[in-house]
Amino acid sequence: MKGLMGDASDNIPGVPGVGEKTAIKLLKEHGSVEKLYEALDAVSGAKLKEKLVANEEQAKMSKILATIETSAPIEVTLDDLTYNGPNMEEVVEIWKELSFKTLLEKSDFVAEEQETAEMNYQVLEEVDTSILKDQMALHFEMYDEQYHTSELLGIAFSNGEDSYFIQGTKAFQSDAFCAWLEDNEKHKFLSDSKATQAVSRKHGISIQGAEFDLLLAAYIVNQSISSGDVSTLAKEFGNFNVWTDESVYGKGAKKSTPELEKLAEHAARKAQAIWQLKPTLEEKLKENEQYELYKDLELPLASILGTMESDGVKVDKQILVEMGHDLEVKLQSIEQDIFALAGEKFNINSPKQLGVILFEKIGLTPIKKTKTGYSTAADVLEKLAGEHEIIEQILLYRQLGKLNSTYIEGLLKEIHEKDGKIHTRYQQALTSTGRLSSINPNLQNIPVRLEEGRKIRKAFVPSQPDWVMFAADYSQIELRVLAHMSEDKNLVEAFINDLDIHTKTAMDVFHVDAENVTSDMRRAAKAVNFGIVYGISDYGLSQSLDITRKEAAIFIEQYLNSFPGVKEYMDDIIREAKQKGFVTTILNRRRYLPEITSSNFNLRSFAERTAMNTPIQGSAADIIKKAMIDMAQRLKDEKMQTKMLLQVHDELIFEAPKEEIALLEKIVPEVMDTAIKLLVPLKVDYAFGASWYETK
């Protein structure tokens, strides 16, 4: 059967064009592949016979591939395979090495090991000043990771030998403890410095002397670790056990706060783990030449982000409410237009009902089918755009619907009752490129393609009267980083001479003068410029420009011929990734790429594209992070009231008194331009206005 029909899942080719029914018919008639080929003349159908003749060797090879080899020289007997149960000590060590988190959590052996491991700790009623040493691991135990709103269950301390726990917020009632927190000479080793500082700030305390951040150190050493909780990091880097939060609090609806003794021991174990992990991770950072990235960039940035989160950004609730109302009216109007074009009412949000309308009633050609009917996914509808006016209306309906539910309604839920602000949370130890991620809510992906989406930024306003919003963003930063990394002469010169890079690319690729570059040429050049940064394929470019893959391949080839340094960079970075197993950014941030040597073409190709992109996107992230640190310091040095509120990838948003705008216009580009020195100048665009929207 497999010799004839093949098996795609096992890469067995079989005879092209011969499926299951034909294979069964042939085998019923002839019995085997060999007998079939002995009696080919008896096969009916000229086309089938032609396929069989052309693929005889492949059919016989496919049968061999699919046949289990039974003559292997096996000397082991069944008696030798008697199973007496696993050696759990060895099994657990392997599970730890392979990060089999769920198995470790469920293992009775690990549970016993954890229960029997002794833990020296004391529960305090008040902070005893004698325990506050010059160096201590400090852990704030919270009910969940939403540290801006979560209850502080207690604080644990450890000096490596002795550990302590004090329940709730009692510690903040001690003047000695608060003074110790604010003493820069007392070195604190923290599990998550940003969260710890945010919670302290609620109690009027600004923590100084944050010497170590477990979360950030672990993230820089290996950003692919799935979780930043202390128990995971203890297993990963210390090969020892700390109780998981789930084992202490339960999960989901069953979650509850444990009795004091268990809570205290759980937090104390975490504090002790932080102390134990510090030397291991710092040594690893130094070994990887990443200590400066950790100490000079990520650690000070955590404090700045914590301040930005606590300060929050003012949102005019009424503007959002009115926008939501306007969108509802617009959606109802579009809905009626869609019903009129369809000739009947139906549920627009039901893919099944929409599929029937488009492909059966209206008669459009189906592009893709699903198990339940016709696919009406966005990519399918976009390909059908222009074939019927209902498509454009449906796409608009979906976009505006998502805008209303995800962004208008979503943002309204996140406005803090007391101060009327949104306090987004920046995930500093999440992305594999080093970029910051914003959650609760995500302010980095407010849609800007639709005018309705852009208008959402009108609701983001200064928190004080007579203040304005000021925004500054890097222009084409990733292309400038590419010019720096590739050292391509043409690309470097274009940026040094402040040429329009897309026009310059079109001139080089199409071999025309600037005045002969058409808008289509520039659009194509822009697509390939940004596409190259992401390791674009001929298929990807063909989709974005609506051209054939052959045309796209020629275009990419012409681009690489015009910018030979870029081609050399791409080849070199892939070669380096295969040799080292990772790629690095300007500041030595690493991204490990185990799939770069995979035999699977798709996995390998994705890893190669990632190898090309990560140093560029990651270096751009390094640059704006450095700019944020420099900017915070400059605002402090100038004794300005201006506050840095948001970071949205390549953009920084501030609020400032009007009288400080002239100075901001001078220092913001100055600081951002010089954050990190490149072969080409960094270019910063800026503007100010009554809202974030007006800065655009």
pLDDT in tens, 497-537: 999 999 988 898 888 998 999 988 898 888 888 888 777 77
One fold for both 2-66 and 489-615? yes
| C-alpha–C-alpha distance, residues 149 and 142, integer Å | 10
Phi and psi angles of residue 55, each rounded to the nearest 5 degrees, phi first? -120, 30
Task: Say which residues have a Cβ less than 8 Å from residue 645's Cβ, sequence separation at least 6.
Answer: 308, 311, 312, 313, 653, 654, 655
Three-class SS of residue 469? strand
Helices (H), 288-316: 291-292, 299-311
- If one looks up domain 117-312 in CATH, what number appears? 3.30.420.10
Residue 675 phi/psi, 5-degree rounding, is -55, -50
Closest CA to 452 of 331, 544, 313: 331
Q: Write the CA distances from 574 to 168, 270, 577, 583, 609, integer angstroms.
A: 52, 40, 5, 9, 9
Alpha carbons 273 and 164: distance in angstroms, whole number: 13
Looking at the DSSP bridge assignments, the partners of residue 10 are none
Of the CA atoms within 13 Å of residue 102, those in its CB half-sphere come to 0
Q: Reply yes or no on domain 2-66 having CATH 1.10.150.20.
A: yes
Cβ–Cβ under 8 Å, residues 186 and 146: no
pLDDT bracket for residue 108 (50, 70, 90): low
pTM of the model: 0.81
Q: What pLDDT shows up at residue 386?
A: 83
- So what's the pLDDT on residue 447? 84
d(CA 361, CA 345): 13
d(CA 39, CA 344): 60
The answer to whether residue 109 scores a pLDDT higher than 70 is no
Structure tokens at 29: 């008639």
Is 172 within 8 Å of 127 (Cβ atoms)?
no
Angle at 238 between CA 232 and CA 243, to 5 degrees: 45
Tokens representing residue 636 in the block: 């402090």
Query: Lowest mean pLDDT: which of 156-160, 249-253, 380-384, 393-397?
Result: 249-253
pLDDT at 691: 96
The pLDDT of residue 76: 87
Q: What is the pLDDT of residues 599-621, one digit of tens each?
A: 999 899 899 999 999 999 999 99
Residue 7: left (phi > 0), alpha (psi -120 to 50), or beta?
beta
What's the whole-number average pLDDT of the chain?
90
CA-based diameter of the chain, in Å? 100
CB neighbours of residue 510 within 10 Å:
17
The mean pLDDT of 275-303, rounded to a whole number, is 96
Distance (Å, rounded) from C-alpha 626 to C-alpha 634?
12
Burial class (CB in 10 A: 0-12, 13-18, 19+), 579: exposed
Burial of 318 by CB count in 10 Å (0-12 exposed, 13-18 middle, 19+ buried)?
exposed
What percent of the chain shows pLDDT beyond 90? 63
Characterize the bridge pairing of strands 369-370 and 460-461.
Answer: unpaired
Q: How confident is the model at residue 498, as a pLDDT?
A: 92
- 316-422+431-455, CATH topology level: Taq DNA Polymerase; Chain T, domain 4 (1.20.1060)
Query: Which of 84-88, 230-234, 333-337, 547-551 has the largest mean confidence?
Result: 333-337
**Above pLDDT 70, what percent of the chain?**
98
d(CA 652, CA 664): 12
Residue 543: CB atoms within 10 Å: 16
Judge whether 317 and 420 are in contact, CB under 8 Å.
yes
**CATH number for the segment(s) 458-477+620-695:** 3.30.70.370
Q: Which pLDDT does position 279 carry in this prediction? A: 95
Joined together, the tokens standing for residue 64 give 């061999």
Q: What is the pLDDT of residue 600?
A: 92
- Does pLDDT of 336 surpass 90? yes
Give pLDDT, residue 116.
Answer: 46
What are the residues facing 373 on neighbouring strands? 370
Rounded distance, CA 173 to CA 167, Å?
A: 12
Smallest CA-to-CA distance from 456 within 428, 422, 417, 427 is with 422
Which CATH code, of 1.10.150.20, 3.90.1150.10, 3.10.620.30, 3.40.50.2300, is assigned to 489-615? Answer: 1.10.150.20
Q: Give the integer Cα–Cα distance in Å for 450 and 511.
A: 35
Q: Domain ranges in the chain?
A: 2-66, 86-115, 117-312, 316-422+431-455, 458-477+620-695, 489-615
Distances (CA, A) of 469 to 422, 437, 452, 627, 688: 15, 22, 20, 18, 5
Q: Do residues 683 and 650 lie in contact, with contact meaning Cβ atoms separated by under 8 Å? A: no
pLDDT in tens, 467-502: 999 999 999 999 999 999 999 999 999 999 999 999
